[in-house]
Structure 1
Amino acid sequence: MTDKFQNDGAQNAAILLKVAQTMAKLGIAPFPRNYELFYEALCGHNPALTRDAAALGNQPTQSQIEQIGVKHHLTGFTAIAADAIRADTARSIAAMSQTLNGGIAKTEAFAALLRDFIGRLESDPVAGMSDFADDAGRLRDAVSVFEREERAFAATMNETAAQLGNLRNDIETMRKASMRDPVTGLANRIAFAAKLAALYDDGNACGPAALALVTVDGLRALAESHGAAVAERTLKKLAPVFRKSVKKNDFVARLGTDEFAFVFHDVSAENAEAIAQRIRASVEDVQIALPNRTFTTQTLSLSTGIAMALTASGSADLFTQAELALRAVHVREKPGVLVFSAAIGGRTAKTYAPHAA
């Protein structure tokens, strides 16, 4: 059997070549963010993104590409989305400032009229009634205008505040989306990297935690046989299974097409292995409906490699150990769970350099 890791490497190389060929054919600028978009589209991780990219047609503009990248919250397009939000914020603040300055000018004009009226009363207390009535009428009209302008100003301020609130929500949505896998809603590779680093904030493991790297056995074959849409529906069925299988303070992320990572807190190696076995059994209970096969379903399984935070020198070492344990499971050609050990590390030392992530 060809090693899964070698297959994945060859597959990624083929995708990268296809990305370069596709971009060259469509005349797309070789920006890193454009490579990211077409890589994600061709990988099939996000079928909606794949469809949007396919709909671009020949010779798409950079603006069209950026609209898709921002829509699907791709990391490379975050700066563009942030620039748009900053521009909208600047426009809202400028409009609010202009309205505020206008309101201040009108308030000052009204105050000047009122001061003039009071000054005339003080300087000529026996002024004729007709003069007083004329001044009072002008002052009454000015009060009406002032009240009307103040109401309009308050409405404009409320509208601007609402716009700024929406922009703040957009920023928060963008922040959350940049940390989430669009298909499953689970944390993504970026969030996983931050979580893994946090396990060793002070240079030492924060406690008895375990990292479990998982592949969903059969998912790639399912996608190849029945299409990306079936694989997407399957992933959406597996995501809640993963969430329900771990404690509240544990962590689960999707790293790739069929790759996931779990961080279990306050566990021993035996506990971590038992949790992984329980998750695998839950996945094997999931029935996957196949298109055009009413009475036929398919099941999947998991292969899991586990490493313990206390026995690793840091986050990179922890990831490497879990990856080596997972590789050992695939070499056995049978789904299952393995915890990293010195024996596993010794067997793979020639293939993997120490502390390689």
Structure 2
Amino acid sequence: MANRKSSTTDVALRVATAMKQMGIDGLPRNYELVYEAYAGSNPDLVRDFIALGKYKTQAALDELGRKYLPHQHEASVLQRSAGAISNEMSNFMDLLSQERSSLNDYGRLIGEASQVIGSVGGALGSSLEALQRATELRVTHTAEMAEKVAAQSATMDGIQKEMAEFEAMKFVDPPTKLGNRRAFNKALARVYSNPNLPMLCGVVVAEVDAERRFSPAQIEALSDHLVTFYGGLIRQAFPTNDLAVRFDGLRFGFLFNTADEGEVERLIDLLRAAFQTVALRDPRTNRNLGHLTLSAGVCMSDRADSALDLSSACERALLEAKASGGDQIVIYGRGDEVPAGKEWMLYRA
């Protein structure tokens, strides 16, 4: 059990290899799309991905992404919201046009009545009746106008609320309140926004070693509790100025804003120590279930050329940590004896 490899880590490595073989650009949205296709959790996505053929254009990938991963294409969501707002504004302008027409009609009736009153005194009564009817129609129309404007305002408020909720939640993992994979991908892309001068930082992919203590069936039964418990523990113990996210299951990602490899290792060790401080308890009986451990793969940003390479390096380091029994940190680095441009080497911390 201790030597069992993480299937999700295997998938991540297959994704990185497949993307290079198929010539797919290492964009965060492409990585997530290919990852989900290879993970196989959505059969429809797998079928449509295969249907794209051996050589997949960026346009075809984006079309697939908009269908299955809309959060990676927030521009489309914002465009829909902008379109809804535009329609509401058009409707509002129509109401204003109707109001202007009503005012014109009202003015015309007043003018006609004034002329009649001035020229034919005997018709004064009928003119006043016409003026009264126009006034009553005006009052009714004004009330209807107020109701329509109120309805339009409520619709606009709903659209604004929807957009605010979308902005607030698109980078959040709901069960843990940590960041999500999308936040992680965005942060990695920002690291290499200037390829000639990448941001110096340390990146970690970690996984709770639940398999060292529980059977697969027990993990499945406790899965929701494990996610919320360890997600909350990480949220409490993690530095607020750094990024912590949950990918899926019990896999987490971290980005430390430091170029000091030793500091990254120290911070991960503090997190692992927190795992040993707080005991896991059964959510139903409150029975003490002991302490789980954490395995982590680390890579510094100056040892990779792109966001895809950086995440792949962390995944490979994590795979090594899990394969060696778990409960350890493996750092992905380059030895002094290895010439530039050659293979990476792994070494345990």
How does the TM-score come out when normalised to structure 2? 0.69
Q: Does structure 1 residue 156 correspond to structure 2 residue 148?
A: yes
Matches of 1:311 and 1:32, distance apart in 2: 33
Q: Does structure 1 residue 179 correspond to structure 2 residue 192?
A: no
Matches of 1:133 and 1:7, distance apart in 2: 88
Task: Give the aligned partner of residue 116 of structure 1.
Answer: 112
1:192 positional shift:
1.5
The question of whether the paired residues in 2 share the 8 Å contact of 1:200 and 1:315 is answered with yes
1:278 positional shift:
0.9
1:213 positional shift:
0.9
Aligned pairs for 1:76-91 within 5 A? none
Q: Aligned AA for 2:69? A: T
Secondary structure in 1 aligned to 2:249?
Answer: coil
Q: Does structure 1 residue 238 correspond to structure 2 residue 230?
A: yes
1:178 positional shift:
4.2
- After superposition, the C-alpha distances for 1:181-214 in whole angstroms (9 at most, x for unaligned) are 3432332222211111011111145543111111
Matches of 2:216 and 2:120, distance apart in 1: 97
Q: Does structure 1 residue 250 correspond to structure 2 residue 242?
A: yes
Structure 1 stretch 97-106 or stretch 144-153: which is displaced more? 97-106
**Which of 287, 309, 316 is equivalent to 1:317?**
309
- After superposition, the C-alpha distances for 1:22-74 in whole angstroms (9 at most, x for unaligned) are x9xxxxxx6428989xxxxxxxxxxxxxxxxxxxxxxxxxxxxxxxxxxxx97
Matches of 1:350 and 1:333, distance apart in 2: 28
Q: Which runs of 5+ in 2 are unaligned?
A: 15-35, 50-66
Matches of 1:345 and 1:156, distance apart in 2: 76
Structure 1 stretch 292-301 or stretch 104-113: which is displaced more? 292-301
The question of whether the paired residues in 2 share the 8 Å contact of 1:273 and 1:338 is answered with no
Aligned pairs for 1:163-202 within 5 A? 163-202=155-194
Cα–Cα, structure 1 residues 97 and 220, in superposed 2: closer, same or farther, change >3 Å? Answer: farther
**Which of 269, 282, 285 is equivalent to 2:261?**
269
Q: Does structure 1 residue 138 correspond to structure 2 residue 130?
A: yes
1:277 positional shift:
0.8
Cα–Cα, structure 1 residues 192 and 219, in superposed 2: closer, same or farther, change >3 Å? Answer: farther
Task: Give the aligned partner of residue 4 of structure 1.
Answer: 5
1:235 positional shift:
1.2
Matches of 1:200 and 1:258, distance apart in 2: 27
Count of residues in Structure 1 that have an aligned counterpart in Structure 2: 303
Matches of 2:255 and 2:38, distance apart in 1: 34
The question of whether the paired residues in 2 share the 8 Å contact of 1:283 and 1:300 is answered with yes
Q: Aligned AA for 1:197? A: A
Aligned pairs for 1:13-92 within 5 A? 31-32=44-45, 75=69
Matches of 1:218 and 1:289, distance apart in 2: 13
Secondary structure in 2 aligned to 1:198?
Answer: helix
Task: Give the aligned partner of residue 290 of structure 1.
Answer: 282
Matches of 2:267 and 2:318, distance apart in 1: 16
The question of whether the paired residues in 2 share the 8 Å contact of 1:212 and 1:307 is answered with yes
Task: Give the aligned partner of residue 54 of structure 2.
Answer: none
Q: Does structure 1 residue 106 correspond to structure 2 residue 102?
A: yes
Aligned pairs for 1:211-230 within 5 A? 211-218=203-210, 222=214, 224-226=216-218, 228=220, 230=222
Structure 1 stretch 308-317 or stretch 285-294: which is displaced more? 285-294
Structure 1 stretch 171-180 or stretch 203-212: which is displaced more? 171-180
1:330 positional shift:
2.3
Matches of 2:150 and 2:212, distance apart in 1: 52
Matches of 2:176 and 2:336, distance apart in 1: 32
Matches of 1:178 and 1:255, distance apart in 2: 14
Q: Aligned AA for 1:116? A: E
Higher relative contact order (CA closer than 8 Å, sequence separation 6+): 2
Matches of 2:215 and 2:173, distance apart in 1: 18
Counting aligned pairs with the same residue, the percent is 16
Matches of 1:90 and 1:197, distance apart in 2: 33
Matches of 1:87 and 1:323, distance apart in 2: 41
Matches of 2:317 and 2:97, distance apart in 1: 67
Structure 1 stretch 232-241 or stretch 137-146: which is displaced more? 137-146
How does the TM-score come out when normalised to structure 1? 0.67
Secondary structure in 2 aligned to 1:255?
Answer: strand
Matches of 1:321 and 1:344, distance apart in 2: 18
